[in-house]
Amino acid sequence: MRAVKKTSFPTPQDAEAAFYEALESADLDAMMEVWAEDEELICVHPGWPRLTGYESIRENWAQIFRSGERLKFSLSEPVCVQGMMLSVHSLHENVLGAGETKPRAPVVTTNVYLRTAAGWRMVVHHASIAVTPAETDSPPPTLLH
């Protein structure tokens, strides 16, 4: 049984800030507070399969948080497209693990927020490793999607 949402996020930026706070503190309840109460949810972590639905996404975050690894996020290069009901945020996550002094490879992330009766909620989080500048010098792939 899902808990009733306690927090209303008045803007998608508020929801995004809460998402990264929950991620850094490994707080599962706070993380799921950000997500919509829906089965049409999507979450993709770098190198992981696509997850759909509230329960599978919740269990995945629980698994990640149980690992004990604590990460710090610095967000950069934001591009936001916002309408009345939907907000799409593309950004770079610059990640530092505990004890690390140099950020890991940047992660390109797309977060999508939906305006609901309970405020703005996340419906998509899709993250993948960013291409480095040296990799962009190579010829383009022959197959595009």
27-78 per-position pLDDT tens digit: 999 999 999 998 899 999 998 999 999 999 999 999 999 998 889 999 999 9
Mean pLDDT across 126-145:
66
Query: What is the share, in percent, of the chain residues with pLDDT greater than 70?
Result: 87
Give the pLDDT score at 61.
97
The confidence band for 81, taking pLDDT boundaries of 50, 70 and 90, is very high
Q: List pLDDT tens digits, range 92-103.
A: 999 988 888 888
- Tell me which DSSP letter residue 122 carries: E
- Where do the H-state alpha helices sit in 26-139? 28-34, 54-66
* Domains of the chain listed by start with CATH number: 12-106+114-131 (3.10.450.50)
Give the pLDDT score at 39.
87
Query: What is the share, in percent, of the chain residues with pLDDT greater than 90?
Result: 68
Q: What is the pTM of this model?
A: 0.86
With contact defined as beta carbons under 8 Å apart, do 53 and 39 qualify? yes
Is residue 108 over pLDDT 60? Answer: yes
The confidence band for 142, taking pLDDT boundaries of 50, 70 and 90, is low
Residues 93 and 50: their CA atoms lie apart, in Å, by 19
Q: Look at strands 119-129 and 42-44 and give their pairing.
A: parallel
